[in-house]
Homo-oligomer: A and B are copies of this chain.
């Protein structure tokens, strides 16, 4: 598979582009979003190393995909999916599983969106810390490659509210915000209390 390298702010694809490829991210972070006529932007998610993105049912992209820092991506031609599935019966199921993962993540976002702003942000940071842990990075030092605006458009908040909630978390001793830099988690327990995705109950 051909691999491309893109710098921060470059787009992998734009909404409206023909959906010719699926993409597999080797390194870096990608922001997936759409812009609506009102001018508002909805960030539907972020892609990290190992993630497949660009999936969809239509023949044009509905989302735009922008590199938040230098990335490396592989391109998988859509036209080749049939052949690949023919060669490897499991390939189609793999795609299905990737789509299910993204679906689960989007549904999770739906749940989060109705909680108070502070908890939404706490949840966002918590997920980030957990990902760091899984990837062998320090779960107490969060390096967020996106802006407050990206976070706001993802969580459904304005940048002002995001900023206020960051300040509040800091005032309550949950996190420490370095200038222009990483966020240190001081009280992971409190972050969990605030941000835990609410557990599912039967029925």
Contacts and interface: CB of A to CB of B under 8 A. Distances in A.
Contacts of A16: 200, 202
B85 A37 contact: no
A1 interface: no
Interface in A4-62: 11, 14-16, 34-38, 40, 42, 44, 55-58, 62
Contact of A64 (B36, B97, B198, B203): B203
B62 A200 contact: yes
Contacts of A97: 57
Contacts of A171: none
A104 B200 CA distance: 23
Contact of A156 (B63, B101, B107, B113): B113
Contacts of A201: 15, 35-37
A15 B203 CA distance: 6
Interface residues of A, number: 52
Contacts of A111: 34, 36, 42
A183 B40 CA distance: 31
B110 A81 contact: no
Interface stretch (A87-95, A126-134, A161-169): A87-95
A173 interface: no
> Which 4 residue pairs of A and B lie closest in terms of their CB atoms, listed nearest first?
A92-B92, A36-B198, A99-B99, A57-B100
Interface of A: 11, 14-16, 34-38, 40, 42, 44, 55-58, 62-64, 81-82, 85-86, 89-97, 99-104, 106-107, 109-111, 113-114, 156, 198-203
Given A56-B103, A102-B103, 7 more contacts: A35-B200, A36-B200, A40-B114, A57-B103, A92-B94, A106-B106, A113-B156
9 contacts: A16-B200, A35-B201, A42-B110, A85-B92, A89-B92, A92-B95, A95-B96, A106-B107, A110-B113
